[in-house]
């Protein structure tokens, strides 16, 4: 089969690889129908995730069809259409029992990271019973690809951890796919205002179409001053960090209201300053989280009933054999106006 293989920082290739086979009785082999590229894949290619080694197939999102299941898999059979979770989980260990699948003792984020991933014609999924979801008939497969990672991430790490409530003012720093997923799912709770902050005018325009009540381009204007103007000098009740650099986390600290929440989503490679000299008395809560994907079944229902339309995040489509061109388009998101790309395996 063909797959997108990582060969060290800056190097990747679409090349022939052995088709995966069952290793444990709890595994399934899935033929990929559609997959995509994540901001995290770009972090890997920059060399930010050194555990990813030369020869690894990238990708942790996708939908497909079961090709083969191990003898211990009871929930799936050959021919079933499935959604692949970016998080692999056994469902049995102490962390899984707490609903913290991201820290599963025999899983977590391993796809396209510690084991071969989904940017390929076939993928092996460990703990298939707990790591795959059945695709309902008539569901839009493309839209479901957004459920492998970005929707549960925006919702769990941003909206749930930030405790968004009716009437709240929510500020989201970063209007990439993850920030936009937080914007879409924050609206389950009818906040009064959702303010998006980014440096890309196209992404801010998309944010307004997706329900942002205000947008701030912090390249051109002082975001802190504007947030205080918009909130009667109070700051935002919930601030969601969806970028992953020190400057944006520190911006979150500056715009959170007393009693508010900062929900960090971004993957950080450097430490950020925590301004306790100001915040110690502000009754704030700061949360961090690796997505658990425990809300995937709920999100799947909202997508199938069209309450949530994540297909709106898809801007480009390519045959999977053109994956290198797709990476190029994804890497030049500002020029190409890219949000999510879909790679189709015919």
Pairing state of beta strands 132-134 and 285-287?
Answer: unpaired
Nearer to Zn ion, 93 or 139 (CB): 93
Nearer to Zn ion, 88 or 248 (CB): 88
Nearer to ligand NAD, 76 or 330 (CB): 330
> Per CB under 5 A, does 146 bind Zn ion?
no
Of positions 139, 290, 321, 344, contacts ligand NAD by CB under 6 A? 290
Of positions 244, 255, 295, 318, contacts ligand NAD by CB under 6 A? 244
Number of shown-chain residues binding Zn ion (CB under 5 A): 8
Where is 297: in which H helix or E strand? helix 296-304
Separation CA 239–CA 46 (nearest Å): 28
> Per CB under 6 A, does 88 bind ligand NAD?
no
Of positions 62, 107, 266, 310, contacts ligand NAD by CB under 6 A? 266
Query: What φ, ψ does residue 115 adopt, rounded to 5°?
Result: -130, 165
| Residue 188 Cβ vs Zn ion, minimum distance, rounded to whole Å | 22
Across-strand partners of 29?
68, 124
Separation CA 333–CA 329 (nearest Å): 6
Nearer to ligand NAD, 39 or 107 (CB): 39
First to last CA, the chain: 13
Separation CA 41–CA 237 (nearest Å): 32
Chain-centroid distance, C-alpha 48: 17
Of positions 5, 49, 82, 90, contacts Zn ion by CB under 5 A? 90
Find the radius of gyration of the CA atoms of the chain. Answer: 20
Residues at the site binding ligand NAD, with contacts judged by CB under 6 A: 38-40, 43, 149, 153, 157, 173-179, 197-200, 203, 218, 242-245, 247-248, 265-267, 289-291
């Amino acid at each position: 089969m063909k797959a997108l293989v990582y060969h060290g920082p800056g190097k990747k290739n679409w090349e022939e690889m052995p088709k995966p086979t069952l290793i444990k009785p709890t595994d399934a082999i899935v033929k990929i129908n559609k997959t995509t590229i994540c901001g995290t894949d770009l972090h890997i290619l920059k060399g930010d995730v050194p555990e990813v080694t030369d020869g690894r197939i990238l990708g942790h999102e996708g939908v497909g069809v079961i090709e083969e299941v191990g003898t211990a898999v009871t929930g799936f059979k050959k021919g079933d259409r499935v959604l692949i979770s970016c998080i692999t989980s056994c469902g049995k260990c102490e962390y899984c029992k707490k609903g913290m699948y991201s820290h599963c003792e025999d899983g977590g984020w391993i796809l396209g990271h510690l084991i071969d991933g989904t940017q390929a014609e076939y993928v092996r999924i460990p703990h298939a019973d707990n790591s795959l979801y059945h695709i309902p008939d008539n569901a839009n497969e493309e839209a479901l690809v957004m459920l492998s990672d970005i929707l549960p991430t925006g919702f769990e790490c941003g909206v749930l951890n930030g405790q968004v409530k009716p009437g709240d003012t929510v500020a989201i720093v970063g209007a990439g796919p993850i920030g936009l997923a937080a914007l879409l799912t924050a609206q389950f709770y009818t906040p009064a205002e959702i303010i998006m902050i980014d440096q890309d005018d196209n992404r801010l325009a998309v944010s307004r179409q997706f329900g942002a009540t205000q947008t701030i381009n912090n390249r051109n204007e002082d975001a802190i001053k504007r947030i205080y103007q918009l909130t009667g000098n109070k700051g935002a009740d919930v601030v969601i960090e969806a970028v992953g650099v020190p400057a944006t986390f520190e911006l979150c600290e500056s715009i959170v209201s007393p009693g508010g929440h900062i929900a960090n989503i971004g993957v950080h490679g450097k430490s950020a300053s925590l301004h306790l000299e100001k915040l110690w008395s502000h009754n704030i809560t700061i949360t961090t989280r690796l997505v658990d994907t425990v809300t995937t079944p709920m999100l799947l229902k909202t997508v199938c009933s069209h309450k949530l339309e994540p297909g709106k995040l898809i801007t480009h489509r390519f045959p999977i054999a053109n994956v290198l061109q797709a990476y190029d388009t994804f890497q030049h998101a500002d020029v190409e106006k890219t949000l999510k790309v879909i790679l189709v395996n015919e």
